[in-house]
């Protein structure tokens, strides 16, 4: 039967006379194809993209990001692409059949899409394990898969009340990413791999051994060389739960969650359906049952690869006229490859061909670089030295977990490939030189061998710097110099702009360091200095100034200005210097020389509100407060007519205090035992905690006591940005510690330490830094973390952003804080000890000193005169500012007649 006999409505969005191009599949290859078509112009054409997913095409390479950060946006490219009238994205449309005779695609819901050209970009499916219990495993392919794993880890952790065992079957690239992801989510990661070593596709044995050692060092448990034989399950409260994985050698590995990542299979079923139909017709004609028909006795519609995939030629055309295949479903030279770079190249080739070009596919670029829980791995080119006469120059240090190999031609001159594990630094500069003559001896690139720095070389213009998007060094130079392809013909001289303009570094990101270097080289060449200067008064960044001030032992603004600055300073450098001096000397912020530097809130030790009055926030460590102290706050608020509100940080904020009232208000609070909550400072705000094991029936540690200790230890600590902490008493995480800069979550064995989280405009989830710490080690790591942050972050840079900017991110931070790789541990702890020793309550110190109190007078010539422009109205039993602060003639100023409540 022909598939076209069904007469349901035909979808044909394209107007008559327009060339209809239909894409089946909505992954990165489909996206790139559509983008490439639009970039070349769509006059007289219409592109329809049929995707079974409900999402706009997203970046599957970055899928692991969505595992730990559910809300991350992975949308590929500019979403405006899908608004183009000549482009249509049809979601929820699964193609199930083709009718070649009338050139139509049929979808599962019975719609038909007529085409003039058809591009198959169906990608792959995650392969599943043919073993019992497979139906209870997770795969790692779509957004829904990783979201499912994320919520399952959380659900099981809460249900079981302990760290769960998450087993990943498959020790390839994706499997290791999945294992590292579940580890970051707080699960115990176990990897089972049938091969003798991890990442067998990319790594040779030596590299695989080094990799295994490093991965084990990161806390991943690896069982290699054995295949699993069954996923074991049990029944708990009517629910089937996974209990373990049985291995071929009879061992049972405990598991609460199993992820299968053993590779992908091309989704070539459309082609198979047509081939099956052709075979059936041939069998019928020959009068034999289909299963007895020899494959040689019929001609398939599409030629297929031995292990699947639709065969394409170098133009990316299939055997069927007007049908193309790109990406993972395309079989070229006997191979399907699950990497984004070749998929992008194929998409560009088909777009070029449809525009009358003659681009050809030269073969797969299988270069891979990734970073797994801090382990650098890279493999590219002829990594296994299969080229005849190829030489392998190797450095291996199994003890350190370092393996570096460069593969060159028999004359040791031309670069053929390489593998790097543990230290992949040379990869970024080597990668673009693939197939070219190396500027130096191959051994010079084995950086771990102590051969020194690889020679700095200028990349030739035609060297491909970003292989994902096929961007050459020359194209980047053009953009830096102002080639005019971007807005306003202006040179693009910032990294972010350069990425947008050229698309280099926007996919896997591994070429970004090289991109940055090339940009800096080009800018230096054109005489432009790459300025990190804070403002016109200093040539330093905050981190540089911090070090300079520390090394020079400077303790006052005047000294810093005289030594390193110029002019009279400004609202940018002055608070930054105040913060640096405060971090290094714990000095009282309003003393001579410091007071004049302070930003709006620090200047009054209170938070300025829209009408110029202040809010007052006493510290309530860990959110624990006695009824007596609550009474004090109530009385003070009543007496001064302050508006009260509970803050998001478990404290009570009192609004509407005038500058000259602050000392009186604080006198009453300090006498009752309160101290400043530093709600005004770039400093520790609070440590939020849940009620913990003292009351809660689920709590496993005393989170309140830990929160109070931490708040008292780090109170008053000045930093480049405000920061918050949280302590949760169990994995249920009621204190939302992972939304804090420093988050501590109790485990049965101690504390897990998370860092780099925040709420606000750009929320970030904190990442796991160390697990199962005792109290002393926890505090030691927090000391080091905070001090390292304070020393090296830029002004107003919060911990999450700071870690993003650090080379190596969380892994670098872990090496400094946990492994003490820079040998700074003791110094950072000593700096924190000095802070703790010198802490004083800023408000108590203010009240004791008439010189300091002088700073709170309202008018130099009338210290008790209040600001009469303030006006309030009553709302819900309290007062608030009367609408917008009154405008109008300022001379003379009196209270507006409309004020309902006057002071």
Partner 1 sequence: MTILVAERSETDASELRWHDVCRPEDLEPGWGEAAWLDGLQVALYRFPDGSFYAAEQRCPATGAHVMARGIMGSRTTAEGAVHTVASPLHKQVFRLDDGRCLGDDSLSLRVFPVQVRGERLWVGVPR
Touching partner 1, residues 582-611 (CB under 8 A): 592, 595-600, 603-604, 608, 610-611
Q: Which range binds partner 1 by CB under 8 A, 8-16, 252-260, 320-328, 855-863?
A: 855-863
For partner 1, which residue of 490, 838, 865, 898 counts as binding (CB under 8 A)? Answer: 865
Instruction: Supply the minimum distance, in Å, between the C-beta of residue 358 and partner 1.
Output: 53
Closest by CA to 810, choosing from 739, 764, 754, is 754
Contact status: 830 vs partner 1 (CB under 8 A)? no
H or E segment to which residue 416 belongs? strand 415-421
Measure Cα distances from 13 to 16, 22, 89, 319, 376 in Å.
9, 11, 11, 27, 48
Contacts 24+ apart (CB under 8 A), 282-286: none
Question: Left (φ > 0), alpha (ψ -120 to 50) or beta: where does 604 sit?
Answer: alpha
Contact status: 892 vs partner 1 (CB under 8 A)? yes
Closest by CA to 544, choosing from 556, 574, 552, is 552
Instruction: Supply the minimum distance, in Å, between the C-beta of residue 592 and partner 1.
Output: 8
Contact status: 450 vs partner 1 (CB under 8 A)? no
Distance between CA 215 and CA 421 in Å, rounded? 11
Q: What token pair was written down for 449?
A: 């061998």
Contact status: 884 vs partner 1 (CB under 8 A)? yes
Contact status: 894 vs partner 1 (CB under 8 A)? yes
Distance between CA 21 and CA 113 in Å, rounded? 10
Contact status: 876 vs partner 1 (CB under 8 A)? no
Instruction: Supply the minimum distance, in Å, between the C-beta of residue 644 and partner 1.
Output: 21
- One-character DSSP codes across 35-68: HHHHHH--TTEEEEEE-SSSSPPB-GGGHHHHHH
Q: Which range binds partner 1 by CB under 8 A, 406-414, 443-451, 838-846, 859-867?
A: 859-867
Contact status: 761 vs partner 1 (CB under 8 A)? no
Contact status: 574 vs partner 1 (CB under 8 A)? yes
Instruction: Supply the minimum distance, in Å, between the C-beta of residue 894 and partner 1.
Output: 7
Contact status: 216 vs partner 1 (CB under 8 A)? no
The three-point CA angle 810-813-814 to 5° equals: 85
Contact 705, 713 (CB under 8 A): no
Instruction: Supply the minimum distance, in Å, between the C-beta of residue 794 and partner 1.
Output: 18
Contact status: 890 vs partner 1 (CB under 8 A)? yes
Instruction: Supply the minimum distance, in Å, between the C-beta of residue 862 and partner 1.
Output: 4
Instruction: Supply the minimum distance, in Å, between the C-beta of residue 527 and partner 1.
Output: 21
Strand partners, 789: none
Contact status: 575 vs partner 1 (CB under 8 A)? yes
Instruction: Supply the minimum distance, in Å, between the C-beta of residue 559 and partner 1.
Output: 13
Give the interface size with partner 1 as a residue count (CB under 8 A).
Answer: 43
Distance between CA 738 and CA 312 in Å, rounded? 48
In the structure, how many helices (H) and strands (E) does the chain have? 24, 38
Contacts 24+ apart (CB under 8 A), 842-848: 842/588, 842/589, 842/590, 842/605, 842/676, 842/678, 842/716, 843/605, 843/666, 843/669, 843/670, 843/675, 843/676, 844/670, 844/675, 845/588, 846/590, 846/605, 846/663, 846/666, 847/663, 847/666, 847/667, 847/670
Instruction: Supply the minimum distance, in Å, between the C-beta of residue 451 and partner 1.
Output: 48
Q: Was 696 annotated as part of a binding site?
A: yes
Touching partner 1, residues 512-531 (CB under 8 A): none
Looking at beta carbons only, is 225 or 567 nearer to partner 1?
567
Looking at beta carbons only, is 84 or 599 nearer to partner 1?
599
Distance between CA 903 and CA 123 in Å, rounded? 71
Distance between CA 509 and CA 467 in Å, rounded? 10
The three-point CA angle 462-464-469 to 5° equals: 130
Residues 6+ apart with CB under 8 A from 16: none
Instruction: Supply the minimum distance, in Å, between the C-beta of residue 577 and partner 1.
Output: 11
Q: Was 535 annotated as part of a binding site?
A: no
Over the window 637 to 666, marking each residue x when it contacts partner 1 by CB under 8 A and - when it does not, the resulting string is ----------------------x-------
Contact status: 886 vs partner 1 (CB under 8 A)? yes
Contact status: 748 vs partner 1 (CB under 8 A)? no
Looking at beta carbons only, is 389 or 884 nearer to partner 1?
884
Q: Was 730 annotated as part of a binding site?
A: yes
Contact status: 861 vs partner 1 (CB under 8 A)? yes
Looking at beta carbons only, is 695 or 859 nearer to partner 1?
859
Looking at beta carbons only, is 128 or 600 nearer to partner 1?
600
- One-character DSSP codes across 594-653: TGGG--HHHHHTSEE-TTS-EEE-B--GGG---HHHHHHHHHHHHHHT-EEEE-TTS-EE
Q: Which range binds partner 1 by CB under 8 A, 297-305, 504-512, 538-546, 888-896?
A: 888-896
Instruction: Supply the minimum distance, in Å, between the C-beta of residue 536 and partner 1.
Output: 6
Q: Which range binds partner 1 by CB under 8 A, 44-52, 568-576, 679-687, 763-771?
A: 568-576
**Roughly how many angstroms between the first and final C-alpha of the chain, as a whole number?**
89
Strand partners, 689: 727
Measure Cα distances from 381 to 285, 338, 456, 463 in Å.
48, 15, 21, 14
Measure Cα distances from 811 to 579, 687, 819 in Å.
27, 25, 10
Strands 104-107 and 95-99: antiparallel
Looking at beta carbons only, is 761 or 862 nearer to partner 1?
862
For partner 1, which residue of 748, 885, 900, 901 counts as binding (CB under 8 A)? Answer: 885
Contact status: 893 vs partner 1 (CB under 8 A)? yes
Measure Cα distances from 354 to 34, 36, 347, 413 in Å.
12, 11, 11, 39
Q: Which range binds partner 1 by CB under 8 A, 299-307, 319-327, 486-494, 864-872?
A: 864-872
Looking at beta carbons only, is 12 or 869 nearer to partner 1?
869
Looking at beta carbons only, is 761 or 887 nearer to partner 1?
887
Q: Which range binds partner 1 by CB under 8 A, 170-178, 211-219, 281-289, 850-858?
A: 850-858
Contact 738, 186 (CB under 8 A): no
Touching partner 1, residues 332-361 (CB under 8 A): none
Enumerate binding residues for partner 1 (CB under 8 A): 536-537, 567-571, 574-575, 592, 595-600, 603-604, 608, 610-612, 659, 855, 857-862, 865, 867-869, 884-887, 890-894
Annotated binding-site residue numbers for siroheme: 734
Annotated binding-site residue numbers for [4Fe-4S] cluster: 690, 696, 730, 734
Annotated binding-site residue numbers: 690, 696, 730, 734
């Amino acid at each position: 039967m022909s598939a076209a006999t069904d007469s349901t409505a035909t979808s044909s969005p394209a107007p008559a006379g327009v060339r209809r191009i239909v894409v089946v599949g909505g992954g990165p290859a489909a996206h790139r194809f559509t983008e490439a078509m639009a970039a070349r112009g769509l006059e007289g054409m219409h592109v329809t993209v049929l995707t079974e997913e409900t999402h706009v095409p997203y970046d599957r390479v970055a899928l692991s990001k969505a595992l730990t950060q559910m809300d991350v946006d992975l949308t590929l490219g500019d979403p405006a692409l899908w608004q183009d009238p000549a482009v249509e994205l049809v979601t929820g449309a699964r193609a199930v059949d083709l009718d070649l005779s009338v050139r139509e695609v049929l979808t599962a819901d019975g719609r038909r899409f007529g085409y003039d050209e058809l591009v198959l970009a169906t990608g792959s499916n995650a392969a599943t394990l043919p073993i019992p219990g497979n139906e209870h495993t997770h795969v790692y392919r779509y957004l829904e898969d990783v979201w499912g794993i994320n919520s399952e880890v959380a659900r099981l952790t809460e249900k079981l009340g302990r760290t769960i065992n998450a087993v990943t079957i498959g020790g390839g690239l994706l499997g290791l990413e999945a294992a590292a992801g579940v580890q970051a989510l707080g699960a115990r990661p176990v990897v089972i791999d049938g091969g003798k070593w991890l990442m067998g596709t990319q790594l040779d044995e030596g590299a695989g051994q080094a990799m295994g050692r490093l991965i084990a060092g990161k806390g991943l448990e690896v069982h290699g060389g054995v295949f699993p034989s069954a996923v074991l399950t049990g029944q708990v409260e009517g629910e089937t739960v996974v209990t373990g994985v049985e291995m071929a050698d009879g061992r049972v590995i405990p598991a609460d969650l199993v992820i299968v990542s053993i590779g992908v299979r091309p989704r070539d079923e459309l082609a198979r359906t047509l081939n099956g139909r052709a075979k059936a017709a041939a069998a019928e004609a020959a009068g034999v049952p289909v299963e007895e028909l020899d494959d040689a006795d019929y001609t398939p519609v599409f030629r297929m690869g031995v292990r699947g995939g639709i065969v394409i030629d170098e133009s990316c055309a299939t055997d069927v006229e007007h049908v193309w295949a790109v990406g993972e479903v395309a079989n070229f030279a006997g191979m399907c490859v699950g990497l984004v770079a070749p998929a992008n190249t194929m998409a560009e080739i088909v777009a070029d061909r449809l525009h009358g070009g003659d681009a050809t596919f030269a073969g797969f670029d299988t270069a891979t670089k990734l970073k797994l829980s801090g382990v650098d791995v890279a493999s590219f080119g002829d990594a296994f030295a299969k080229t005849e006469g190829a030489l392998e120059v190797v450095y291996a240090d199994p003890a350190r977990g370092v393996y570096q190999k460069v593969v060159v031609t028999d004359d040791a001159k031309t670069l053929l490939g390489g593998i790097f594990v543990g230290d992949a630094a040379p990869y970024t500069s080597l990668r673009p030189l693939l197939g070219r003559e190396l500027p130096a001896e191959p051994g010079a690139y084995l950086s771990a061998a102590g051969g020194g720095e690889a020679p700095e070389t200028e990349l030739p213009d035609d060297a491909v710097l970003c292989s994902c998007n096929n961007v050459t060094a020359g194209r980047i130079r053009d953009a830096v110099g102002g080639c005019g392809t971007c807005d306003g013909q202006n040179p693009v001289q910032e990294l972010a702009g350069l990425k947008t303009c050229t698309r280099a570094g926007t996919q896997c990101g591994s070429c970004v360091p090289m991109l940055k270097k090339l940009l800096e080289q080009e800018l230096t060449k054109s005489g432009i200095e790459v300025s990190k200067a804070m403002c016109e008064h200093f040539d330093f960044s905050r981190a540089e100034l911090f070090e300079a001030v520390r090394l020079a032992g400077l303790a006052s603004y005047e000294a810093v200005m005289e030594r390193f600055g110029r002019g009279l300073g400004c609202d940018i450098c002055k608070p930054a210097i105040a913060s640096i001096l405060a971090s290094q000397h714990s000095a009282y912020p309003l003393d001579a020389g410091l007071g004049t530097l302070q930003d709006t809130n620090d200047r009054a030790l209170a938070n300025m509100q829209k009408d110029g009055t202040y809010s007052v926030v006493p510290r309530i460590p860990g959110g624990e407060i006695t009824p007596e102290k609550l009474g004090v706050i109530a009385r003070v608020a009543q007496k001064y007519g302050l508006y009260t509100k509970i803050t998001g940080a478990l404290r009570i904020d009192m609004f509407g205090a005038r500058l000259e009232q602050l000392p009186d208000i604080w006198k009453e609070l300090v006498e009752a035992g309160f101290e400043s909550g530093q709600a005004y400072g770039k400093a520790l705000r609070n440590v939020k905690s849940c009620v913990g094991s003292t009351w809660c029936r689920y709590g496993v540690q005393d989170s309140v006591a830990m929160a109070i200790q931490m708040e008292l230890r780090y109170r008053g600590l000045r930093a480049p940005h405000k920061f918050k902490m949280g302590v949760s008493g169990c994995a249920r995480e009621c204190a939302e510690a992972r939304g804090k800069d420093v988050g501590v979550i109790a485990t049965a064995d101690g504390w897990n330490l998370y860092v780099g989280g925040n709420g606000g405009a750009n929320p970030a989830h904190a990442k796991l830094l160390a697990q199962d710490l005792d109290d002393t080690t926890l505090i030691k790591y927090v000391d080091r973390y905070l001090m390292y942050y304070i020393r090296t972050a830029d002004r107003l840079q919060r911990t999450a952003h700071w870690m993003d900017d650090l080379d190596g991110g969380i892994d670098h931070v872990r090496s400094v804080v946990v492994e003490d790789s820079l040998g700074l541990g003791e110094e950072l702890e000593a700096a924190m000890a000095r802070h703790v020793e010198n802490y004083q309550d800023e408000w108590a110190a203010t009240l004791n000193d008439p010189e300091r109190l002088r700073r709170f007078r309202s008018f130099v010539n009338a210290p008790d005169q209040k600001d009469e422009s303030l006006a309030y109205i009553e709302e819900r039993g309290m007062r608030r500012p009367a609408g917008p602060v009154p405008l109008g003639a300022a001379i003379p100023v009196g209270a507006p007649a409309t004020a309902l409540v006057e002071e």
